[in-house]
Structure 1
Amino acid sequence: MTRLRLRKLGRDVWATRSRVAMMTIAIAVSVLAVTAFLSARAIIGREITRNYQATRPASATLHIPGGVGAAVLSAVRAEPGVLDATARGTLQARVKVGDGPWRTMVLFTADRADPQRINTVAVESGSWPPPKGTLLLERTALAFLGVSPGQRVTVEAPGGTPTPMTVAGSVHDGGVAPAAQEQTAYGYATTTALTFLGRPPTLDQLRIVVGDHSTVSTSSPTIDRTAQRVATRLKALGHPVSSIDIPPPGRHPHQGQMVMVGFVLLAFGLMALLLASILVATMLGGMLTAQIRQIGAMKAVGARTGQILRTYLALAAAIAVTATALALVPGLALGRALAEQGARLLNLDITTESVPAWVYAVALGAGIGVPLLVALVPLLRGSRITVRQAIDDHGADSAAPGGLLDRVLTRLRGPSRTQMMALRNMFRRRGRLVLSVGLLAVAGTMFLTGLNTAGGWSSLVAQSIGQRHYDIEIRLDKPYPADRLTALARATQGVSDAEAWGRTAATVHTAGRIDVAHVYPDEAHDSFTVLAPPADTRLTRLPLVAGRWLRPDDTDAVVLNSLVPAQQAPGTTVGDTVTVTVAGHPVTRRVVGIVSDFGTLGAAYVTDRDFATVTGTPGRTEMLRVVTDRHDAVSRQVVLDRLDDALTRAGTGIQQATTIDTLRVALDGHVLVLADALIALAVVMGFVGLLGLASALSTSVLERTREFGVLRTLGATASAIRAVVVTEGVLTATLSLLLATVVTLPLTRVFGDFIGTQAFRQDLPFVFSFPALVLWSLLTLAGAAAAGVAAARRATRTTVREALVSL
């Protein structure tokens, strides 16, 4: 590039330094967002896998009711395809601190001599094995329960007595979710603790690692075949296997949730960059429009189109490179901060915050390449202007005069001359109007869609809680007389109603095979149960996705919630039959309905009559659902404590007792990450969109220098000129609001369905957030007015002399 063109470029930058600064800021903010989201996604994606693999997760768990002894372990370790095997146990218990409420606890148990090569945990304080009468807690359970190592807690096994135990230390288990998120404490102890709690010291789980030589298999069919073969071998040896658990190989329980969060972050980050690129194109197009006569003059003295194009491309490249350089390091730092926040929410350890090379490559390519590609269109159009077109330019698009829009605008009458002048000025540069309105509308659409989707998550949680017309759920350790327990519950102060429900764990059965459940070792994620509500239940009303609900006389019908066809029995629809093992017996039922049941894990609903026949427990129950006369959290907990005391005095063993508030907290915790990400991204979109509007108004004022000079000559006051410019900005913003509102409606539906289905197999309720619309409208109109005031400052300072010398 010649020295003369460099001097011209430098003068252009200085003359339009405010717009160049806005372009640089817009791209920098967007590149910062993209870099932060990409790096956070890369770090979390790597660390969630590394943390889970560090636990050396079992490929499959075989349940052996008679217990796993040394002979079983030796036989299994000799089986082809089995890399290792160990004996473990899992106890569903309860824990409390002092006089506090009972909390759900999952107690993982192992033999003191277990080598801890499978499903291992990292001891952070204390040691393994813990001393007799003590246990280790997962580190997130410490804060959840409000205890520290050395303190005592009370643990109660189902059907046992409350037993004080000392917290001997803490561990990090990369295979479980945070305790507060699941509202469950995780404990680790030896078989000695089982005896201490009044339970037999039997380890009834055989956990195996499947693979070839030293390579662990990640193939579900391979793991399934090996587990079935091992089960057949153990049956021949006199150790029958009741069922097999096979979690998704190599996938953390919340892997799908984080994949969706990463997708949303990346998609919105790229949208922010696209917005910024459109903004740059708009500004550069305006710059070229303001220099049409300069371009014509350069063409007249021999400048070629390619030379002019390269000059302005160099300007665009300099802006993009500068913005990317400014944003890269802060973006990486913000990405690491986001990753650390995500790690805390997911109970992960980040071993290294290094970012893979592809993140740098994508950030640099996006920050420099995308703006240049988008800016190429207006730069090509501007550099091809001929001398004749430059002479004929009068500050409006070259549409045919007398068109329908021109005739409508000419005949239109408004409440004030200022408003009509602003409205007509908007359409002088129709191409730029489309870009300005489109840019702000895209920002508004993303802002509204983000907050609508976050609102959809919250609405899904509220909808789920609203479908449950009970306040307390109590699960018992075995079946008890239903009439006696419901009468006892109804006689408890603060209880207005109670129902006895049938409940038992289940697995999908395939003839000739040991039942396989795709459940994680915490026995919560992806588990499957059969529920039997009373025929006249008033405590649950689940919305139907397909088919119908149960009838009181149904004896061969089942209703599935939407998780079962997705996880346990893929492809099952209404009209199909499904065979489920209930109480040790395979039972085949016809699927008559599928319901939406967010907040409940995989469940099959049958009538109470059918359940009693299948399980052989007529008139008995394992679960109570209770309605309290007051529905605040404190009152529910008080009533639960009374019920707990009453049931315990009556000799009833409690496995788990929770209020509906516990479920709400757990559900809210699962969507917190995504909701916060959507709101943060919406703010970024809004900022970039308002920058676009400010640049468009600034360019428009610069182009109309002569017009404002003439208006000043004719006696127009500074306030009148300011009113014209501000009104033009507000009208542009209003158009963008209308467009954003219309586009947001279908986009919210599509985006919400996609996110909800991928993350939780559940469509999000359609929510249009009117507070979000009001907020965006206020921000947009206020921003437009402020941008108009800033742009009008130049217009009000234009003198007649400046207008005359303006090219």
Structure 2
Amino acid sequence: MNLDARWVKIWRDLWGNKTRFLLVTLSIAVGVGTIGMIYNASQIIQRDLYSQFKQGNPAHVFLYLSPFPKEIANAAEGIREVKQAQARRILRAEIKSSRGDFENLNLHVIADSFSIKVNRFNMLQGAFPPNVREIVLERQSAQLLGYEVGDKVTVKLEDDRQYELTLSGIAHDVNEIPFAILGDASGYISMDTLRWMGESATYNRLEVVVQGEEISKGYALDVADKIKKRILEPAGYQVFSIRIPGVGSDPGDHWAHNQIRGFILILQIMSVMATLLSGGLIVNTISAILIQQTKQIGILRAIGASRKQIVSMYLLNILIFSVAGLILAIPFGLVGSWWLANFAARFLNFDVTRVTLTWDVLLIQVGVAIGMPLAVAIFPILNGTSISVYDAIYQYGLSDRKRVSRFEQLLSRIRSINPPLLLSLRNTFRQRSRLAFTLSTLTLAGAMFIASFSTYSSLTAQIRDVERYVAFDARLSLPRGVTKVAAEREALRIEGIGYAEGWAISEGVIVRSDHSESQGIEIVGLPPDSKTIYPKLVAGRWLSAMPNSRQVVVNADLVNEEAGIEVGKEIQIKIGGRTHTFTVVGIVSKHIFGPRIYMDFTSLSRLTGRHNEVDEIRVLAEEGKLASVATQNTLAEKLEERFRNAGISKNNSVTRSSFFSEFTEIFNIILLVLLIMAGLLALVGSLGLSGTLGINIMERMREIGVLRAVGAANHALVKIVLTESLVVSFVSWVMGAITSAISSPILAAVVIYAVLETQMSFRYSMIGLMLWFCVILLIGVFSSLLPARRAALLQVREVLDYE
């Protein structure tokens, strides 16, 4: 066979069916482009976020202690395991936004401000340190508060003193959890400004960078314990807590490292799915070409073309599809990775410096774009070219099968089915291998779509577990010295409050068997019959009403961090410098916001020496029932005003709904990403269904001619194609529902563990199931439009004279 003749045939095959060429090219481009988008975006995020984070020299461990001078940091650097130490003052305050409401503010005062060593940040505008009566705001805080350099801002301290400062600069601090997530703005002032505000010129946080590369939590805590015992305690300073920065992160990791890992994992799973689906579409398309050109294959064989030549010609055809798809996929992947990286940057508050295509990502895209289509197409090509010359030329058209399938026998026995519907059903199930490819494509798309909703439902269920521990309408933090009786009595005097409950909150550490200590753990003293907490027991029982007992309940967060904690075992807890022995009587579910120990209120009061004092008051409009969001906001305002006027507390109150708004926003973003990726899968699935219907019409050309000859109208042919499409859609929905029962818990477990590092509470989403039913029906309708139109335009002479 002449080489030029083969090129002419390949060109005519491609240009003669532009729709098919575009269909296959787009399917390859979607799969390969999605892979490029995800892998390139993950590299951009890791390059820019982690590099900017590491450039700031992040602290491995924080020590919160009583007021100390900056010389303590110099003394800590004398310990061999300490690389660098820095003193910082964190002052809780509020800042008035341009809208007039007050927001939480963390004021930072850093020792040696001209040469910051640990947790460095970049100045975007202005200079650092600011002058007296000036403040620098973190850029996201300034943006959301509505301020620009030169504006006057009002800062209010905890004792209600207010100061007007000039905004002299904007900083970018990637070490701080963004204002949009945590709800706490970040500001930076000088020590001179702190003195002018009437505060002592001391520090309360020691930031330590440990020697070494890979630092474990245990090692960082051991170094902090050494600083505490060798320097701080002998000098008379009290260490309130020792903490690893971040949200469950390891020392030196970005505070959202686990969440970023889960986010990227979701995208990688979806990219693999998109690639598999595009492979199914390629198989169907190649089958269509071979079916349409069966007689051509026979003629080529008759004039001397070898099977090897024919196979190589069709493989070259596939190669052209692949190259065209790759050409589209590369820019699609770059644009998509730019969008995805900037989406993450806005959320995590870092800068995307540049978008580039690295060689490893390019090689992955080339390998998938070229290798995957050739791999999946080789079998149908070998199968299609194995036909004999006689069968190819004389047996093409209506099948001469002598054996009728059981399904067709069953259909023939059902008299109530009208002929067009019977023809649609027979066409649907006639080519079972092709149907299997189409169904697998749509089934995978449906399973991942439903799994996305089920993952969101499971994440929501996880939050519902956490809500058990914040079963209040509003709460208010109280200063030291407020008794339980006084706080509860004052709260119950407020109109609309039907129940009030005081909690004592302290901090301690677990003393291990080797005498090392854990990082700081929150200890809660509450009534055993509390009405503002509904714990979910994992093991053991809840606290019993036994005053001064040595029983505690711990949460799963603590069990995960401290090995050996079990129901019935004794643990050593150090509170206020003294170690006490307690028996673990129960373990409750994970809280997300960290390790916690529960004990009876009177027991904790006695151990801390703060008899009958509470640290927060929790209120309900009605005992045993949560109020609406509007009622919660009203109660919070009344609670805050009442306690402020009574001179008890000047703190801001918190509602239950506002407490969970941050978590909900994060999970909504995860759902959005899941749905975008599921939508891409559905797009590839719809392309596959449309291609299958087109192949079926090619095979049934003469049957369509017969129908035309006996008077079938256009709408009848359209109805046949539409019914066939809807039948395939419905069957795929059923199979997708079955498959989702397996894929949903797997995806939910992977995502929840990656994001929250906890076991899941799985919830299957019926909403996702029914929504996919609506989507698949729409896919069925729109996928049939082009093939149905093509069938309706065919004339009798044209179809009966079809090759």
**TM-score clears 0.5:** yes
| Residue matched to 1:49 | 50
Count of aligned positions = 793
Q: 1:109 is paired with a residue of what secondary structure?
A: strand
- The unaligned stretches of length 5 or more in structure 1 are 518-526
* Distance in structure 2 (CA, Å) of the matches to 1:303 and 1:573: 76
**Greater shift after overlay, 11-20 or 394-403?**
394-403
Which residue of 552, 555, 558 maps to 1:558? 552
Specify whether residues 12 and 762 from structure 1 end up closer, same or farther in structure 2 by C-alpha distance, changes over 3 A only: same
How far residue 187 of structure 1 moved from its aligned partner, in angstroms, is 2.3
Amino acid at match of 2:534: R
Shift of residue 36, structure 1, vs aligned partner:
1.8
Counterpart mapping for 1:148-297 below 5 A: 148-158=148-158, 161-211=161-211, 218-220=215-217, 222-234=219-231, 238=235, 242=239, 243-247=241-245, 248-297=250-299
Q: 1:744 aligns with which of 707, 731, 740?
A: 740
What residue is the counterpart of 1:349 in the other structure? 351
- 8 Å CA contact 2:557–2:592 kept in 1: the answer is no
Please state if 1:775 is matched with 2:771.
Answer: yes
Determine helix, strand or coil for the equivalent of 2:186.
strand
Q: Which residue of 2 aligns with 1:37?
A: 38
SS of the counterpart of 2:662?
helix
Amino acid at match of 1:257: Q
Q: CA deviation at 1:565?
A: 2.7
Q: Distance in 1 between matches of 2:276 and 2:22?
A: 18
- Residues 303-338 of structure 1: CA distance to partner in whole angstroms, max 9, x if unpaired? 322222211111111111101102211320221122
Equivalent residues of 1:452, 1:748 under 8 A apart: yes
In the TM superposition, what is the alpha-carbon distance from 1:239 to its structure 2 partner?
A: 5.2
CA distance in 2 between counterparts of 1:602 and 1:541 reads: 17
The structure-2 alpha-carbon separation of the partners of 1:238 and 1:356, relative to structure 1 and needing over 3 Å to count, comes to same
Aligned pairs (5 A) from 1:371-386 = 371-386=373-388
Alpha-carbon displacement from aligned partner over 1:176-232 (angstroms, at most 9, x marks no partner): 1211211112222233444445443221333232226xxx66455554454444444
CA positional deviation for 1:131: 2.5
C-alpha contact (below 8 Å) 1:152/1:165 kept by paired residues: yes
Tell me the CA shift for residue 575 of structure 1.
4.1
Shift of 1:482: 0.8
Partner residue in 2 for 1:2: 3
Q: Secondary structure at the match of 1:308?
A: helix
Structure 2 partner of 1:130: 130
Is this contact kept in 1: 2:500–2:617, CA < 8 A?
A: yes
Corresponding residue for residue 716 of structure 2? 720
Aligned to 1:469: 471
Q: Please report how far the alpha carbon of residue 459 of structure 1 lies from its aligned counterpart in structure 2 after TM superposition.
A: 4.8
Q: Give the structure 2 partner of residue 303 of structure 1.
A: 305
Q: How does 1:190-589 map to 2 (within 5 A)?
A: 190-211=190-211, 218-220=215-217, 222-234=219-231, 238=235, 242=239, 243-247=241-245, 248-387=250-389, 390=392, 401-461=403-463, 464-465=466-467, 468-510=470-512, 513=515, 515-517=517-519, 528-553=521-546, 555-566=549-560, 568-570=561-563, 572-589=565-582
- Given the alignment of the two structures, is residue 761 of structure 1 paired with residue 757 of structure 2, yes or no? yes
Task: Select between 425-434 and 786-795 the one with higher mean Cα deviation.
Answer: 786-795
* SS in structure 2 at match of 1:606: strand
Conserved 8 A contact 1:134-1:189: yes
C-alpha displacement at 1:795, in angstroms? 2.5
Task: Name which of structure 1's ranges 755-764 and 235-244 shifts more when overlaid on structure 2.
Answer: 235-244
Counterparts in 2 of 1:480 and 1:195: CA distance versus 1, 3 Å: farther
Does the 8 A contact of 1:296 with 1:391 survive in 2?
A: yes
**In 1, distance between residues paired with 2:167 and 2:508?**
34
**Deviation of the 1:769 alpha carbon:** 3.8
* 2:705 matches 1:704: no
Deviation (angstroms), 1:297: 3.3
Partner of 2:615: 622
Cα offset for 1:560?
2.5
Q: SS where residue 620 of structure 1 aligns? A: coil
Distance 2:219 2:612 in 1: 43
Contact 2:104 2:184 in 1 (8 A): yes
* 1:334-385 residue CA offsets vs partner (Å, 9 max, x unmatched): 2112211210110112233334322222222222222222222222222233
Cα separation, 2, equivalents of 1:236 and 1:484: 35
Which of 722, 729, 734 is the equivalent residue of 2:730? 734
| TM-score of the aligned structures, taking structure 1 as reference length | 0.91
**Structure 2 CA distance for aligned equivalents of residues 617 and 413 of structure 1:** 87
Q: Is the 8 Å Cα contact of residues 52 and 252 (structure 1) preserved in structure 2?
A: yes
Q: Aligned AA for 1:489?
A: A
Letter of the structure 2 residue corresponding to residue 623 of structure 1: E
Q: For residues 383 and 111 of structure 2, what CA distance do their matches in structure 1 show?
A: 77
Aligned residue runs from structure 1 range 598-677, under 5 A: 598=591, 600-628=593-621, 631-654=627-650, 657-677=653-673
* Cα separation, partners in 2 of 1:409 and 1:390, compared to 1, 3 Å: farther
Shift of residue 600, structure 1, vs aligned partner:
3.6
SS of 2:482 mapped into structure 1: strand
Secondary structure at 1:12 match in 2? helix
Moved more, 554-563 or 428-437: 554-563
Q: Whole-Å Cα distance in 1 between the matches of residues 444 and 490 of structure 2?
A: 60
Is 1:680 paired with 2:682?
no
For 2:796 and 2:630, locate their aligned partners in 1 and report how far apart those are by CA, in whole Å.
74
Aligned-residue Cα RMSD (Å) equals: 2.9
Residues 602 and 221 of structure 1, relative CA distance in 2, 3 Å threshold:
closer
Q: Which amino acid aligns with 1:433?
A: L
- On the 8 A contact 1:563/1:761 being kept in 2, the answer is no
Partner Cα separation in structure 1 for residue 304 and residue 497 of structure 2 = 93
3-state SS of paired residue (2:615): strand
Provide the rounded CA distance (Å) in 1 between the counterparts of 2:712 and 2:286: 30
Deviations 1:150-171 (A, max 9, x none): 4444444445645444444332
Structure 1's 352 and 107: CA in aligned 2 closer, same or farther, altered over 3 A?
Answer: same
Displacement of 1:713 in angstroms is: 2.0
Q: CA deviation at 1:639?
A: 3.3
**TM-superposed deviation, 1:419:** 1.4
Preserved contact between residue 639 and residue 653 of structure 2 (Cα < 8 Å): no
Letter in 2 for 1:88: R
Shift of 1:75: 3.4
Contact 2:473 2:632 in 1 (8 A): yes
Contact 2:448 2:744 in 1 (8 A): no
How many angstroms does 1:98 deviate by? 8.0
Structure 2: any 5+ residue segments left out of the alignment? none
Q: Deviations over 1:416-439 (max 9, x none)?
A: 222122111112111111111111
Do the aligned residues in 2 keep the contact of 1:138 with 1:173 (CA within 8 Å)?
yes
576 and 312 in structure 1: CA distance in 2 versus 1, 3 angstrom threshold: farther
- Tell me whether 233-242 or 787-796 shows the greater mean CA deviation: 233-242
Question: TM-score, length-normalised on structure 2?
Answer: 0.91
Change (3 A) 1:626 1:260: same
For 2:659, give the aligned amino acid: L
Residue in structure 1 matched with residue 78 of structure 2 by the alignment: 78
Q: Cα distance, 1:258 vs. partner? A: 0.8
Q: How does 1:97-112 map to 2 (within 5 A)?
A: 97=97, 100-111=100-111
